[in-house]
Structure 1
Amino acid sequence: MSIPRFKPFLSLFAAVLMLGQIASVQAEALPDFTTLVEQASPAVVNISTTQKLPDRGVAASQMPDLEGLPPMFREFFERNMPRGGPRSPQRGDRQREAQSLGSGFIVSADGYVLTNNHVIADADEIIVRLSDRSELKAKLVGTDPRTDVALLKIDGKNLPTVKLGDSAKLKVGEWVLAIGSPFGFDHSVTKGIVSAKGRTLPNDAYVPFIQTDVAINPGNSGGPLFNMNGEVVGINSQIFTRSGGFMGLSFAIPIDVALDVSDQLKKDGKVSRGWLGVVIQEVNKDLAESFGLDKPAGALVAQVLEDGPAAKGGLQVGDVILSMNGQPIDMSADLPHLVGGLKAGAKASLEVIREGKRRTVDVTVGAMPDDDQDLDAGAKAQTERSSNRLGVSVAELTAEQKKSLELKGGVVIKEVQDGPAALIGLQPGDVITHLNNQAIESSKQFADIAKGLPKNRSVSMRVLRQGRASFITFKLAE
């Protein structure tokens, strides 16, 4: 019997062997989370809160007729509907309780616990349940709604704690793992990878979120995000969803941000962060072209608040901030993260583009005000019309308007006609302060600048609407 007759069988055997080896290598490459979970789980806690609410005082006559309902549904409504007649002043106001569930983790052996602010917001009582099912009342040390971080304290000694990592060292594509209580199921474990870093979400300008595809659901909030070394690198905080459940987009607060907040809460009971006193916006392709930039980058200063740190340091409307203390500003959202990490009194060296030239502006950072500052749009302007090729009629600002808006010049739109202004969404009442990188002092100057605008090139315009400033761009056709 000749060997060549067995070649097909030998080739098949070799292929099967090779596939087996590949599968074995792939299996070995997949991470094993078992040791991590065993070591980290004892320090992960369930958090429940109770909020006292006024009793509805549902009268007996207002109770729905439960007759005719299936027994299961009738029993459910009888068990959950408020009992008794109308409220009696002699008995006083009764109370209902609203409960919520979340997660947290112990960061010190003497009982400090980190979680989300929204988990414990407005709570009258906070209960922390440990891995051994024991329950302890927690004291609220402090909260920071801007970063959604809260610090709790429970009484205990030699409590299990998590290992704390460095979120700055995280890499996109790295394996991460979450432990929490989704829908109340304690110590549920989910895994995934880091999808992106430095994400900015609406109304969260001071947190450079870690984006992951780890399954996070209601109840996971406040729980830890671990790297493969078993170190906490973030606090699971938010999900993007259209259904109310997990859709592959989860966001965690970097642990270095959370620890800075908790240290300040422990020491001072509140959080202070740096503040420039500017309103900024993203630099898109058209704005970059209008300001003479090679590419879209930086943070465009749309508004400088009077007497704020930026105003005192010489920062101007129309400046494009490219870096701060040597750290590049690629997206406008990078600036609040960097400034917020500084303390009041710190120096910030800003590299800016102004009128097409690079220069350095040194600013002494101030303290973030307790409340956001909004400008009042003021009363309507008197009529002094000025028609122009943009398709708007404008009027001079009154002295009262300039004072209320903290402006030295500008014009207010009285009427929007058919034309470019209507196409870019301008509205009556909008205040125009800059056109084609030039400050507007009067309606005549506005008309003169509008008359000489270039065609088929991006032109910038700074507009205030309800006190909020932003730059917009447009092009005039031939």
Structure 2
Amino acid sequence: MKNTFKKLMPYALTGVISGATVFGASHYISSEKNGEDFSYFTTASNNASFAGIGSAVGDDFVKASKTTVPAVVTIKNYQDRAASQRMPETDMFDFFFGPQGGNQQRQQQPPKNMPSGLGSGVIISPDGYIISNNHVVAGANKLEVVLSNKKTYIATLIGTDPNTDISLLKIEEKGLPYLNFANSDLTEVGQWVLAVGNPLGLNSTVTAGIISAKGRSIDILSQQSRTPIESFIQTDAAINPGNSGGALVNVNGDLIGINTAIQSKTGYYEGYGFAVPSNLARKIVEDIKKFGLVQRGFLGVGSLDLSNEMQVAAYNQREKKNLKAGDGIYVTEITKKSGAEDAGIQPGDIITKIDNTDISGFSDLSLAIGSRRPGDKVAVTYTRNGKVNNVNVTLKDLKGGTSSRSKDDLTVTEKIGSEFEPLSERVKTDYGLESGVIAKNVTEGSEMDKIGVVDNYIVMEINGKPVNSQKDVEKILNNYKGNVQVKYVDAYGRITTRGFKLQ
């Protein structure tokens, strides 16, 4: 379990992901009514008509339900029991759902051959592509998909993106019912919506509500990603554990969002649900299908959200400034050789628009930039000393590149999701080791993460060969395809060997 999980206090969370993988037999009953399931959803045609606002009653809800329900599936997450039992007993349940009554006893692992968690997903193509949340599929060594007609398939995990909490799966079938993505930018606050998924094991559940707000950030994805993108659609349609990955649709049955999180003190519905906008979700799955990984462009600025009064007050006190809270993003620093530096943006500038879209706070900026790829150009409006300026910025990746990259273009450390530092002689002596490197910057959802390696674990051998530097790791795995065995020492001094497959 990652250090970030260990630091979480059960009552400190206000935003909790609603359909995460949950460990505990008491959360999975043979009827599956209490299983924690993860919901998925997709959208319909890219036509402005899908976003129309209107009174939706009776037949309107019936039509949308009939369109959506057949395309929403149940996902069963099966995990390695031995690996799960090795994890420290931190409050993963509380991390995703919040405290459940405060005094509930931690439950044991589900029985063998039963899923560690349940969730939902949405079929987005007739040939079996399914979108869901990253946290729905996290840690799985087998994913089972159950359609609304009870047909069952073993799914292949195509890819995930912890930054947006989106995942893409595929089952081998043709002629499936599916939803197309709609244009979430055209949705409006007050618009009727339906949430479709499998909350609390209750399959094919439809709830109704309205869009309560747009561009919400609840600071939940920062627990699983270093560069999260949060600009949620907020709804009061009832969402509970199991709706995650499920569909948020309008009255025409068009997909406008992926249900992802709730804000709750109990872990159950209290009136606040959050969905990833369909435009962002579509970009993520398109990248995964085409490139095998997400292409993300960066502006290259350090920023202060002026709409957050507490952040502004803290910044003023720390930096001896006198900034006023309001709309916009205050630039605190510029990344070297970034698109922002190339365009002449400077610390002290206030970004107010991207492509003529108002930027009120960081959630607006993260969505506007996070939905673009390296090499894309964006029009940035900013103020400097009270004067409005407009520049075009070419976005770059974290390495300063402007081209799309496939998996074949990645370095070894990028492919396996970890960097490495040499062990000191003192550590070798303390642990009685002849070789080893320290894992650093382990990426959430990466191959190293999946086998249980986190920051500061010691990797002793890879494929039976001792490693003493990052170059040793790269030499062993460069151009390698096939099964990889990693021998490592965890924080408790236990030696474990686990593997993954590089393709």
TM-score normalised by structure 2 residue count = 0.57
Say which of 114, 122, 128 aligns to 2:145.
128
Q: Distance in 2 between matches of 1:44 and 1:96?
A: 24
The answer on whether the counterparts of 2:76 and 2:115 sit within 8 Å (CA) in structure 1 is no
The answer on whether the counterparts of 1:283 and 1:298 sit within 8 Å (CA) in structure 2 is yes
Can you list the C-alpha shifts for 1:271-314, whole angstroms capped at 9, x where unaligned?
11210221211225788999999982211011222333323332
1:244 equivalent in structure 2: 267
Can you list the C-alpha shifts for 1:4-25, whole angstroms capped at 9, x where unaligned?
xxxxxxxxxxxxxxxxxxxxxx
Matched, 1:333 2:360: no
Say which of 286, 301, 304 aligns to 1:281.
304
2:158 equivalent in structure 1: 141
Q: Structure 1 residues 104, 363: CA separation in 2 closer, same or farther (over 3 Å shift)? A: same
Q: Distance in 2 between matches of 1:322 and 1:237?
A: 28
> Tell me, what secondary structure is at the counterpart of 2:351?
strand
Q: Structure 1 residues 134, 307: CA separation in 2 closer, same or farther (over 3 Å shift)? A: same
Can you list the C-alpha shifts for 1:216-244, whole angstroms capped at 9, x where unaligned?
11111111111101111111110001011
Deviation at 1:98, TM superposition (A): 5.5
Q: Structure 1 residues 349, 291: CA separation in 2 closer, same or farther (over 3 Å shift)? A: farther
- Counterpart residue type for residue 361 of structure 2: M
2:347 equivalent in structure 1: 317
Q: Structure 1 residues 105, 332: CA separation in 2 closer, same or farther (over 3 Å shift)? A: closer
Can you list the C-alpha shifts for 1:31-52, whole angstroms capped at 9, x where unaligned?
4422332332111110001001
The answer on whether the counterparts of 2:376 and 2:395 sit within 8 Å (CA) in structure 1 is yes
1:40 equivalent in structure 2: 68
Say which of 335, 352, 359 aligns to 2:389.
359
1:235 equivalent in structure 2: 258
> Tell me, what secondary structure is at the counterpart of 1:367?
coil
Deviation at 1:129, TM superposition (A): 0.3
Counterparts of residues 6-21 of structure 1 (less than 5 Å) = none
Q: Structure 1 residues 29, 258: CA separation in 2 closer, same or farther (over 3 Å shift)? A: closer
1:474 equivalent in structure 2: none
Counterparts of residues 73-222 of structure 1 (less than 5 Å) = 99-202=116-219, 204=221, 205-222=228-245
Q: Distance in 2 between matches of 1:29 and 1:320?
A: 41
Q: Structure 1 residues 195, 129: CA separation in 2 closer, same or farther (over 3 Å shift)? A: same
Q: Structure 1 residues 145, 199: CA separation in 2 closer, same or farther (over 3 Å shift)? A: same
> Tell me, what secondary structure is at the counterpart of 2:116?
strand
Q: Distance in 1 between matches of 2:353 and 2:183?
A: 24
1:30 equivalent in structure 2: 57
Greater than 4 Å deviation, 4+ residue runs:
55-58, 80-83, 95-98, 284-295, 368-372
Deviation at 1:163, TM superposition (A): 4.4
- Counterpart residue type for residue 217 of structure 2: T
**Range 161-170 or range 220-229, more displaced:** 161-170
The answer on whether the counterparts of 1:351 and 1:358 sit within 8 Å (CA) in structure 2 is yes
Can you list the C-alpha shifts for 1:311-366, whole angstroms capped at 9, x where unaligned?
33322211111222332222233222112222212333322222333333443211
- Counterpart residue type for residue 202 of structure 1: D
Q: Structure 1 residues 350, 46: CA separation in 2 closer, same or farther (over 3 Å shift)? A: same
> Tell me, what secondary structure is at the counterpart of 1:343?
coil
Q: Distance in 2 between matches of 1:126 and 1:179?
A: 20
Percent identity, aligned pairs only, is 38
Matched, 1:306 2:336: yes
The answer on whether the counterparts of 2:194 and 2:248 sit within 8 Å (CA) in structure 1 is yes
1:61 equivalent in structure 2: none
Matched, 1:347 2:377: yes
Q: Distance in 2 between matches of 1:275 and 1:56?
A: 36
The answer on whether the counterparts of 1:53 and 1:98 sit within 8 Å (CA) in structure 2 is no
Matched, 1:224 2:224: no
* Structure 2 unpaired stretches of 5+: 1-54, 87-107, 222-227, 400-413, 418-503
Higher relative contact order (CA 8 A, sep 6+): 2
The number of residue pairs the alignment matches comes to: 313
> Tell me, what secondary structure is at the counterpart of 1:206?
coil
The answer on whether the counterparts of 1:105 and 1:113 sit within 8 Å (CA) in structure 2 is yes
Say which of 285, 290, 295 aligns to 1:262.
285
Q: Structure 1 residues 209, 57: CA separation in 2 closer, same or farther (over 3 Å shift)? A: closer
- Counterpart residue type for residue 165 of structure 2: D
**Range 295-304 or range 252-261, more displaced:** 295-304
After superposition, the CA RMSD in angstroms is 3.2
1:419 equivalent in structure 2: none
Q: Structure 1 residues 258, 129: CA separation in 2 closer, same or farther (over 3 Å shift)? A: same
Can you list the C-alpha shifts for 1:391-428, whole angstroms capped at 9, x where unaligned?
xxxxxxxxxxxxxxxxxxxxxxxxxxxxxxxxxxxxxx
Q: Distance in 1 between matches of 2:109 and 2:161?
A: 36
The answer on whether the counterparts of 1:57 and 1:82 sit within 8 Å (CA) in structure 2 is no
